[in-house]
Amino acid sequence: MIPKVFKEVIDLGDGREISIETGKLAKQAHGSVVVQSGKCMLLCTVVSNYKQADVDFLPLTVDYREKFAAAGRYPGGFFKREARPSDGEVLTMRLVDRVLRPLFPKDYHSETQVMIQLMSHDDDVMPDAMAGLAASAAIQLSDFPFECPISEARVGRVNGEFIINPTRSQLEESDIDMMIGASADSVMMVEGEMDEISEEEMTEAIKFAHEAIKVQCAAQVKLAEAFGKKDVREYEPERTDEDLAKKIHDMAYDKVYAVAKAGSSKHERSAAFAEIKEEIKASFSEEEQENFGGLISKYYSKAEKAAVRDLTLNEGLRLDGRKTTDIRPIWCEVDYLPSTHGSSIFTRGETQALATVTLGTSREANQIDMPSYEGEERFYLHYNFPPFSTGEARPIRGTSRREVGHGNLAQRALKGMVPDDCPYTVRVVSEILESNGSSSMATVCAGTMAMMDAGVQLKKPVSGIAMGLISDADSGKYAVLSDILGDEDHLGDMDFKVTGTADGITACQMDIKVKGLSYEILVNALKQARDGRLHILGKITDTIDTPNQDVKEHAPTMISRRIPNEFIGALIGPGGKVIQEMQKETETTIVINEDPVTEEGIVEILGVGKKGIDAVMAKIDSLLFKPQVGSIYEVKVIKMLDFGAVVEYTEAPGNEVLLHVSELAWERTENVSDVVNMGDVFDVKYFGIDSRTRKEKVSRKAILPKPEGYVARPPRDDKRSGGRDNRGRDNRGRDNRRDDRKPREEKKED
């Protein structure tokens, strides 16, 4: 039986469409959709267990995978099977998770899985821009308790015009690449990179994307109604006790308020809060503690959050004693590690990042191999967050999704400032040594200084700051917090990170937790972030104001050279023999790539010390050397033969030519050694290709004066008897040979 299919189409306004379809695939999932644009197709399925998990959080897993078959390709590696997710897939998972998670009820703890798969790829469609739409549409077809439909959209700007879900080619020309996640009423998530745009321009881009998202949310509602909206499942809600909540609030609020107002350090403050919590617990009998379970801790946390928020809204003070616009003390240092190519320390309050830079050739570029995109990165940044940075002991099991996301944000913040003509592959690694608020922004600052220390000629230095927002809808009060602490990250209504130069924003990441945040508040928050960002930028430039002009003595120098395509083979040599010997002799690394446009060879020479690089350059010069007809060149004898001497041009070692014995001197020469010997240096004249021998001809005698009475030998007469043209033709012509055979045949018959 052919299943009944339900479908909604979204018009993007420029001839492109996105369709949402259900009823054909994966019908045992609690919700499933196929989202298609062009030839790009995403399958999204959602499942949630009916039994609540014994945890106090939502165990939500968002999984996004791109199948290589979708692009007609094989997976790399030995097993030829998709394995662990790539960084690109992880980043898409994070984008979707951040928008979905807040819309589930806080007391819904059933294990929930959202699986999004790229099943068919289109080069003109970027699938990650439709992942949020697919996830939300599938949930709308399920019976999950979920607040409202959402969607995500990418926005770009080309020639001043905003574009929704631009193609990859359009994105290359765009000065904005932002992903916005929102419901019909509220923007919830923003992440992206920009080319030094203003706060107002960023806000306009968000507004533009939100209008498109409203249309996508409406399409989901229509699809769910046509399919048949399911009744929301019943689940066992968390236990509540309003009397207990009020009792604990009254017991804790004033004490927490006093500790928060004291402006103590992280450890002192944490210890004081823990002591208040223990005092409250101790006020209940063992029987009451057992009866109330985790409610005491839950309600204490609510009272603590309320007290800290009120302190900021009422008095403009924060947990560490700062005012809302204050930045924590900063100290910086560069060239800290003696053996790295570049290094820096950036410390802001209780957050510290140590960044290192390594310079390499194109061979060290980061290869990206995804079904939706193949390419390489000549600049990339890795972020490590060890447990000791927060005073914890826990196992390390590979790179976490959080580390991938924070590293990507810092990389996007900095990559636009790396010049296009930078000859190196640049790898930045950030080690977080202490953390109490925005280690990703510390990474941006440390990465800037480390690259400047390494001699990478950044266009402009970049700084970053993490901001927070506390608001009260009833009173209309709000406070924007500059340079937030870790605790403020959790209790605020918005946390956002903004990076940029003195001239504009280069990257951002926002998570907005309140509905209906006005754009006026958003602009004000971004402007306050700019003030803080410029303050931090001043601390960076006080430490190192311009990039070092040269790399460090122990760091490799990179020289790039273009050579005509026909010389690439000669430089590599048979089986790579020439280039391998050259690398060994000069202690350099040589990489040869082909320019896909001009088809020229691009030779990268990486070496420590000038001597080895100069030797390679000399070899290339020698390879490209082309003597001009009629010019005089200095040569050196490198081999003696009976019929002449092999000489090489002294300005192009390795370029050899035969100096024939007849061109050594005007006088007749019996022995080559009578005129020249091994190692002799002298001048010769270049005559080009000899028409008779078809080989290059040089002459020593041509630049020597003729001896007195010298008589040139007469030229050879090719027409004389026995000449090449008449040789054997009088008696051995083809007709004569044929006539000569007849008598022999006749004799045989006789």
| 738 has a pLDDT exceeding 50 | no
Rg over CA atoms, the chain: 38
List Cβ neighbours of 566 (8 Å cut-off, separation of 6 or more).
none
555 phi and psi, to 5 degrees? -90, 150
Confidence class for position 482, pLDDT limits 50, 70, 90: very high
Looking at residue 185, what is its pLDDT?
92
**Of the given ranges (175-179, 506-510, 697-701), which has the lowest mean pLDDT?**
697-701
User: How far is Cα 500 from Cα 180, in angstroms, rounded to an integer?
Assistant: 19
Q: What is the pLDDT of residues 674-695, one digit of tens each?
A: 888 999 999 999 898 888 888 8
List Cβ neighbours of 189 (8 Å cut-off, separation of 6 or more).
95, 98, 99, 152, 179, 180, 181, 182, 510, 511, 512
Q: Are 95 and 131 in contact (CB under 8 A)?
A: yes
Mean pLDDT computed over 441-470: 96
Q: What is the pLDDT of residues 502-533, one digit of tens each?
A: 999 999 999 988 887 888 888 889 999 999 99
Looking at residue 406, what is its pLDDT?
96
Tokens of 640: 């003696």
Grouping H, G, I as helix, E, B as strand and the rest as coil, residue 185 is coil
Residue 489 annotated as part of some ligand binding site: yes
Looking at residue 715, what is its pLDDT?
59
The CATH number that domain 631-703 falls under is: 2.40.50.140
CATH 1.10.10 residue ranges in the chain?
242-315
What's the start-to-end Cα distance of the chain, in Å?
97
Mean pLDDT computed over 202-214: 95
Please, which residues bridge with residue 399 across strands?
none
User: How far is Cα 561 from Cα 563, in angstroms, rounded to an integer?
Assistant: 7
**Could you tell me which residue, 181 or 714, shows the higher pLDDT?**
181
Nearest-10 crossing angle of helices 131-140, 87-100: 40
Looking at residue 492, what is its pLDDT?
85
Looking at residue 514, what is its pLDDT?
85
| 108 has a pLDDT exceeding 60 | yes
Confidence class for position 732, pLDDT limits 50, 70, 90: very low
Mean pLDDT computed over 359-386: 91
Looking at residue 130, what is its pLDDT?
97
Global pTM value: 0.84
Give the sign of the dihedral formed by CA 590, CA 595, CA 596, CA 598: negative
Q: What is the pLDDT of residues 394-439, one digit of tens each?
A: 888 889 999 999 999 999 999 999 999 898 999 999 999 999 988 9
Q: What angle do CA 482, 487, 489 make, to 5 degrees?
A: 55
Distance of CA 319 to CAs 9, 241, 296, 507, 525, Å? 50, 29, 23, 28, 20
CATH number for domain 330-543, candidates 3.30.10.20, 1.25.40.10, 3.30.230.70, 3.90.79.10? 3.30.230.70
Mean pLDDT computed over 372-395: 92
Mean pLDDT computed over 318-342: 94
CATH 3.30.230.70 residue ranges in the chain?
6-227, 330-543
**Of the given ranges (65-79, 534-548, 715-729), which has the lowest mean pLDDT?**
715-729
Average pLDDT over the chain, rounded to whole?
90
CATH 3.30.1370.10 residue ranges in the chain?
557-624
Q: What angle do CA 222, 226, 229 make, to 5 degrees?
A: 90
Question: What kind of fold does domain 557-624 have according to CATH?
Answer: Ribosomal Protein S8; Chain: A, domain 1 (3.30.1370)
**Of the given ranges (184-198, 277-291, 442-456), which has the lowest mean pLDDT?**
277-291
| CATH architecture of the domain formed by 242-315 | Orthogonal Bundle (1.10)
Confidence class for position 131, pLDDT limits 50, 70, 90: very high
CATH 2.40.50.140 residue ranges in the chain?
631-703
Question: What kind of fold does domain 6-227 have according to CATH?
Answer: Ribosomal Protein S5; domain 2 (3.30.230)
Residue 495 annotated as part of some ligand binding site: yes
| 748 has a pLDDT exceeding 50 | no
Mean pLDDT computed over 691-713: 83
Looking at residue 237, what is its pLDDT?
86
Confidence class for position 740, pLDDT limits 50, 70, 90: very low
268 phi and psi, to 5 degrees? -65, -45
Looking at residue 27, what is its pLDDT?
93
Which helix (DSSP H) or strand (DSSP E) does residue 557 occupy?
Answer: strand 557-563
CB atoms within 10 A of CB 489: 16
Nearest-10 crossing angle of helices 87-100, 401-415: 100
Q: What is the pLDDT of residues 137-166, one digit of tens each?
A: 999 999 999 999 999 999 999 999 999 999
Q: Are 362 and 425 in contact (CB under 8 A)?
A: yes
